[in-house]
Structure 1
């Protein structure tokens, strides 16, 4: 009975998500394009993206428990750095932390709706198999950070296969060191149980999100030192959330 219930929830979620992203998302972008006040138009789109992030969990009949909202910087851009458990980490960050840009794998460029919003948020598409293009993409991200764009980074490089944190990849926080933009560490626990890597059926449940105090990259002498410090904060946070 539980498997059948989860299957119904899954089909419901995919149907709503596709309609919302492709059709309603297209309407939102069109409406914003027709607005004369460009600042108001952008605020409208960002608000709708945040709503999508929050609604995604309602469509899954899942609760999100957030701690540390007061740590989110209000007066400048920043880099959200989080562990990566599931595809649901993306709407989780968008809905409950920041409508930031993503350094996304190039394959997402081909998905209608998703690619529109990655571009709208000033995201960068990364070709990991092409070192030259990867360097170019990171330079583009650095330039955008310098111009005030907030970014979201998953330094593990991929979703965890079992929910446990993977080591952060070398140079994964280089964009923070190059720009001096504050890092906002975020610990996630529970999205793995909603939908593990390489699975497609959802299991509704509770998700926990802990937003830590911002970290100033300028305090560190190297990317390695910064990376290890931030990784340790996030890892400790994950361990704490496991006990909830």
Structure 2
């Protein structure tokens, strides 16, 4: 049923999704040129609300549980597991008050209407995975912008998407670099569940009638742990626990 309905509704979803991307390419350009960062960000927020709404065209329901009390007056590093490209629009929309920026592959800055434009001009870090010096330099620039503007960041420390819902080991590097330059940042784990199912048959058809759950978990003060490695390990642990995917230990 999921696959059969996907054949029917996936083209509608893709058509509307692509239409929004095409429409907002010139809108973003105008907003940036006329209104600067604030207007551009507003256009990006609205775009991602609309992109998220297209999930309903494939019968997908989004549940986003935001935790109260996460401060907006200090930088936040949101650390999440990563299951599909469908993770991104809801995160941008629901974390919009935190000016959350992403660390993205530099390849995505070309050829994708609206998305590439935002990656170039939105203030995130676009890294070349084959060039470690460039990647570190980009993350350091992001850290500086976070400190200067009280922005936040979203990091997927697995390094790549999971195509079956399993969680890959979290890498420390990017998080450690940010924390070194933004020591006042608060770390907030985010557990994402279900988005991998949308693409379990590939990009076509999408699986109809799935549910994506985003759960913002209890913040972690970096100062309460010895260092970045322990912090990342704790973050991975609480995300695994929230998703019921704890690592099994041998007795």
Give how far 1:53 is off.
Answer: 4.7
What is the aligned residue count? 238
Unaligned runs of 5+ in 2: 246-251
The answer to whether structure 1 residue 150 and structure 2 residue 155 are counterparts is: no
In structure 1, distance between residues paired with 2:215 and 2:244: 11
CA RMSD after TM alignment: 2.4
How far the C-alpha of 1:21 sits from its partner, in A, is: 1.2
CA distance in 2, matches of 1:3, 1:197: 8
Alignment correspondent of 1:106: 106
The alpha-carbon distance between structure 1 residues 200 and 73, as it changes in their structure 2 partners (threshold 3 A), is farther
Secondary structure at the counterpart of residue 88 of structure 1: helix
Normalising by structure 1, we get a TM-score of 0.86
Q: CA deviation at 1:162?
A: 1.5
Q: What is the Cα deviation at residue 55 of structure 1?
A: 1.6
Q: Bigger CA drift: 62-71 or 115-124?
A: 62-71
Q: Please, which moves more after superposition, 171-180 or 82-91?
A: 171-180
Distance of 1:129 and 1:51 partners within structure 2: 33
Moved more, 141-150 or 102-111: 141-150
- 1:213 aligns to what? 218
2:8 corresponds in structure 1 to 8
The DSSP-based 3-state class of the residue aligned with 2:68 is helix
Tell me the alpha carbon deviations over residues 13-68 of structure 1, each in whole angstroms, 9 at most, x when there is no partner. Answer: 22111110122342244145334xx5762563254144235323233331112223
Distance in 1, matches of 2:117 and 2:83, equals 24
Structure 1 unaligned blocks of 5 or more: none
> What is the CA–CA distance in structure 2 between the aligned matches of 1:97 and 1:195, rounded to whole Å?
24
TM-score normalised by length of structure 2: 0.84
2:179 aligned with 1:188, yes or no? no
User: Cα 1:192–1:124, aligned 2, differ >3 Å: closer, same or farther?
Assistant: same
2:49–2:90: 8 Å Cα contact kept in structure 1? Answer: no
Q: Does the C-alpha gap of structure 1 residues 110 and 40 become closer, same or farther in structure 2, counting only changes over 3 Å?
A: closer
Closer, same or farther in 2 for the Cα pair 1:28/1:177, shift >3 Å? Answer: closer
**C-alpha separation between the residues in 2 aligned to 1:110 and 1:51?**
22
- Alpha-carbon contact 1:157-1:169 (below 8 Å) kept: yes
Aligned match of 1:116: 117
Q: 2:44·2:118 contact (CA, 8 Å) conserved in 1? A: no
